[in-house]
């Protein structure tokens, strides 16, 4: 995954993070604005928010599209990504933000951080690209470990396995598209496993939440590519939902 995402960062980091942009002429202002929009939309699904005191982990941060949005709402944000190239570009892009730290992760877990290190963990359009759902489930367990009691998480994953195969996208592989790729006018690697990713069965999601000591508060988009999950780490025997605005 590191080799793949390092190559994609050098090719066109903004498009591979936010593929609704034009591949050949990405709009920087729209790229950063989309991070604000994505964060606001996912938070609003559950009427969740920040009070400005939180320490937040942005899991799969890329160059910091959503990290920057989180930094305007929370006290401190740690962004982690498997790609060294993405993190290097993100550090340059967010150098003006004193409450942001970006780190290269190992692509498997969050062992760099102690138990209870964060008040919230956020992840969007990350797990859907991980080829092995067991790795995604491992991260969910790790989210539970690094959250403090009472802390909460919102993350997105796919529950639609059919879209994670090269066969599903075969119709788009026209001669014209292949030629554009050769000329550098279309994205490369979109039929490779680290882009195609995988879906997570609901039973595996529930098992991972339980293993991580997390209580499920709600989901939106069940059965789709964009299933959004809200969960929290209970305080003692309290399994009630976290405070929301």
pLDDT-based confidence at residue 239 (cuts at 50, 70, 90): very low
| E strand intervals along 74-117 | 76-81, 100-104
| Mean pLDDT of all residues in 113-121 | 98
**Band (50; pLDDT cuts 50, 70, 90):** very high
What pLDDT, on the 0 to 100 scale, is given for residue 238? Answer: 52
Higher local confidence (pLDDT), 245 or 39: 39
pLDDT at 223 over 70: yes
pLDDT tens string 3-26: 999 999 999 999 999 999 999 887
What confidence tier does 244 reach under pLDDT thresholds 50, 70, 90? very low
Which pLDDT score, from 0 to 100, does residue 25 have? 82
Contacts of 29 (CB under 8 A, 6+ apart): none
pLDDT score, position 52: 97
Written as six digits, the tokens of 84 are 């060294």
Q: What is the pLDDT of residues 161-202, one digit of tens each?
A: 999 999 988 777 777 777 777 777 788 999 999 999 999 999
- Beta pairing partners, 76: 55
> In this model, does residue 160 exceed pLDDT 90?
yes
What is the structure's pLDDT at 175?
A: 73
Q: What is the pLDDT of residues 59-113, one digit of tens each?
A: 999 999 999 999 999 999 999 999 999 999 999 999 999 999 999 999 999 999 9
Sequence length of the chain is 245
Mean pLDDT of 205-218: 98
What confidence score (pLDDT) does residue 181 get? 75
Residue ranges and CATH numbers for the domains of the chain are: 2-232 (3.40.50.150)
Tell me the average pLDDT across 207-212.
98
Residues 6+ apart with CB under 8 A from 18: 31, 34, 35, 65
């Amino acid at each position: 995954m590191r080799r793949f995402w390092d190559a994609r960062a050098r090719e066109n980091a903004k498009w591979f993070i936010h593929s609704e942009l034009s591949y050949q002429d990405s709009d920087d202002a729209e790229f950063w604005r989309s991070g604000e929009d994505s964060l606001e939309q996912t938070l609003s699904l559950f009427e969740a928010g920040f009070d400005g005191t939180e320490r937040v982990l942005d899991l799969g941060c890329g160059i910091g599209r959503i990290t920057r949005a989180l930094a305007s709402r929370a006290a401190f944000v740690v962004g982690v990504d498997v790609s060294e190239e993405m993190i290097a570009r993100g550090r340059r892009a967010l150098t003006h933000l004193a409450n942001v730290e970006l780190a290269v992760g190992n692509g498997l877990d969050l062992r760099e951080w102690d138990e209870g290190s964060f008040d919230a963990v956020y992840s969007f359009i990350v797990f859907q690209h991980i080829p092995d759902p067991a790795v995604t489930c491992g991260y969910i367990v790790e989210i539970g470990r690094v959250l403090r009691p009472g802390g909460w998480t919102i993350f997105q994953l796919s529950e639609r396995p059919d879209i994670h195969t090269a066969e599903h996208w075969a119709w788009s592989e026209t001669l014209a598209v292949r030629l554009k790729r050769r000329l550098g006018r279309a994205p490369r690697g979109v039929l490779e496993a680290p882009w195609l990713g995988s879906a997570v069965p609901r039973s595996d999601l529930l098992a991972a939440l339980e293993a991580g000591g997390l209580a499920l508060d709600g989901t939106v988009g069940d059965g789709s590519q964009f299933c959004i999950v809200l969960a929290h780490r209970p305080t003692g025997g309290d399994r009630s939902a976290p405070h929301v605005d």
